[in-house]
Amino acid sequence: MLTAARYPEPIRLVTFFDRETGNTFEFLTNNLTLPANTICALYKQRWQVEMFFRWIKQHLPIKAFYGNTENAVKTQIWIAIATYVSIAIMKKRLNLKHSLYEILRVLDLNMFEMMRIETLLGKPVEPTELSDYPVQQDLFQTLGH
């Protein structure tokens, strides 16, 4: 229970009824000057941020942040998002039936294996013209030396 002894500053209760869902929301705020609609809009935006971080925790393979500066955290999140989107595109283009989680897990466990993705995931490999080329090109041959 919130009491004046625990929070001695004045607070305000803002109530919002959402006509779309039929839900009533109550927000406690120490901002006594902003209009109620603004308070509700701010909480709605905050909820979107919370949902974004929940999505990151559930879908992106970030176990820990390697830096603690704003730039380091943003960089790591963007790399994780780019990886996730790249794998989603690959899943669609290769018409893979595996979930994105399964694909991420297989790739994580086989990170240094030199195998085709279709082989790792158990999909039969169809021969292509590119399969005759070596996995790693000769640096000096490509430079013309």
pLDDT tens by residue, 40-63: 999 888 888 888 878 877 777 677
DSSP letter at 33? Answer: S
Contact 73, 65 (CB under 8 A): yes
Q: What is the pLDDT of residue 72?
A: 92
The Cα–Cα gap between 73 and 67 comes to 6
- The yes-or-no verdict on residue 124 having pLDDT over 90 is no
Task: Return the domain boundaries, the chain.
Answer: 12-59, 74-123
Pairing of strands 24-29, 12-17: antiparallel
The answer, as to whether pTM is greater than 0.75, is: no
Positive or negative torsion for Cα 92, 97, 102, 103: negative
DSSP 86-109: HHHHHHHHTT--S-HHHHHHHHHH
**Percentage of the residues of the chain whose pLDDT score is greater than 70:** 81
